[in-house]
Structure 1
Amino acid sequence: MNAIQVKIETWSEADLDLLRQLNAPEMTEHLGGPETEEQILARHERYLKIEGRGTGRMFRIVALPELEPVGSIGYWDSHWQDEPAFEMGWGVLPAYQGRGIAGQAVAEAIASARAEGKHRFINAFPSVDNPASNAICRKSGFSLIGECDFEYPPGSTMKCHHWQLDLDKQ
């Protein structure tokens, strides 16, 4: 498959259908499974409001030149071991995986988080069973801190790799 050029754009009201597509079983297998429609609507509202609250940013990933939505990426305020930081997460629709999209989107989101100058670190917690997301962290310059238990979704614990990137370093 050929690489696709992408850019990230601020999450908008029109992205609810994309969020529903990202909620498919094959997309959520490492995240505890699909959410209910009520949970999806609540997530969409959080995504719409996050930037205005100053607590992070959510983006749709669009393929160029058509501007077709192919995924989502974002970062938000978090704490890890009592230290404030951003946490980052992403998803690329199955038809577009393996084409360098997530890596490009992660680089753009890191640049956005770095420009905010709010936190020194950004963390990612992909499941130990998700080789693709772990590879993206490694290729994007994150350092593997180690394995950890991470609560996601709420009430459920999963075994993750803790990856961290120092936003103060280029």
Structure 2
Amino acid sequence: MADHTDTSRVRIEPWAEGDLDLLRALNAPAAMVHLGGPESEEKLVERHARYLALPGTGTGRMYRVTLRPEGTAVGCLGFWERSWRGETVYETGWSVLPGHQGRGIAAAAAAAVISAARAERRHRHLHAFPSVGNAASNAVCLKAGFTLLGGCELEYPPGHIMRCHDWRIDISS
């Protein structure tokens, strides 16, 4: 069985100005089915600007996911601060282009982002909140070593309540 968290298969690179086209590709209906559907061009440009600005805030980082050794960009992921149940934690999320899903890329990238969040030495926990209906992202959480804490409801996108699983991993060590 392949090691789906083998980070040598992927590289996470800081989100850059030239990554807007990747964000557009990730906005495909098939990739956005569990996230409220595709966003408008205006919303994508706003998201891209937030991704670029995030490292300067000291509250998180966004990355593009590239395959090794060829360097093809196939997704994005990151971590950012959020208040959750009285604690400031990191949240993570990811997206992989539909043509590259099902190959362990997201789990390997999640392992890399866990290490990146741990290196910040800011928060004890990293959470992921995939939709209960998103079997693939829930499997990524399990493969990457997160513990399922139970169900919850989050507002995402704004104005829409989404039923999620709350997955958590301790990044304090």
Question: TM-score scaled by structure 1?
Answer: 0.96
**CA deviation after TM superposition for structure 1 residue 82, in Å:** 1.7
User: Residue 70 of structure 2 corresponds to which residue in structure 1?
Assistant: 66
Partner amino acid, structure 2, of 1:162: D
Q: Distance in 1 between matches of 2:9 and 2:144?
A: 16
Structure 1 gaps of 5+ residues are none
SS in 1 for 2:31: helix
Q: Distance in 2 between matches of 1:86 and 1:17?
A: 26
1:119 aligns with 2:108: no
User: Residue 85 of structure 1 corresponds to which residue in structure 2?
Assistant: 89
Q: Distance in 1 between matches of 2:169 and 2:9?
A: 24
Q: How big is each residue's C-alpha offset from its partner over 1:126-162, in whole Å with a ceiling of 9 and x where there is no partner?
A: 0000001001101111110101111100110011001
RMSD: 1.3
Q: Distance in 1 between matches of 2:83 and 2:95?
A: 22
Q: How big is each residue's C-alpha offset from its partner over 1:99-152, in whole Å with a ceiling of 9 and x where there is no partner?
A: 110111001100000010000001100000000100110111111010111110
1:144 aligns with 2:151: no
1:155 pairs with one of 148, 153, 159: 159
Regions of 4+ moved over 4 Å: none
Partner amino acid, structure 2, of 1:125: F
SS in 2 for 1:99: coil
Partner amino acid, structure 2, of 1:132: A
Q: Distance in 2 between matches of 1:64 and 1:143?
A: 28
User: Residue 42 of structure 2 corresponds to which residue in structure 1?
Assistant: 38
* Between 2-11 and 66-75, the greater mean CA deviation after superposition: 2-11
2:102 pairs with one of 98, 108, 125: 98
1:9 pairs with one of 5, 9, 13: 13
Question: TM-score scaled by structure 2?
Answer: 0.94
2:170 pairs with one of 162, 166, 169: 166
**CA deviation after TM superposition for structure 1 residue 86, in Å:** 0.2
Partner amino acid, structure 1, of 2:117: A
Partner amino acid, structure 2, of 1:145: L
SS in 2 for 1:24: coil
2:26 pairs with one of 22, 25, 32: 22
Structure 2 gaps of 5+ residues are none
Q: Distance in 2 between matches of 1:37 and 1:121?
A: 33
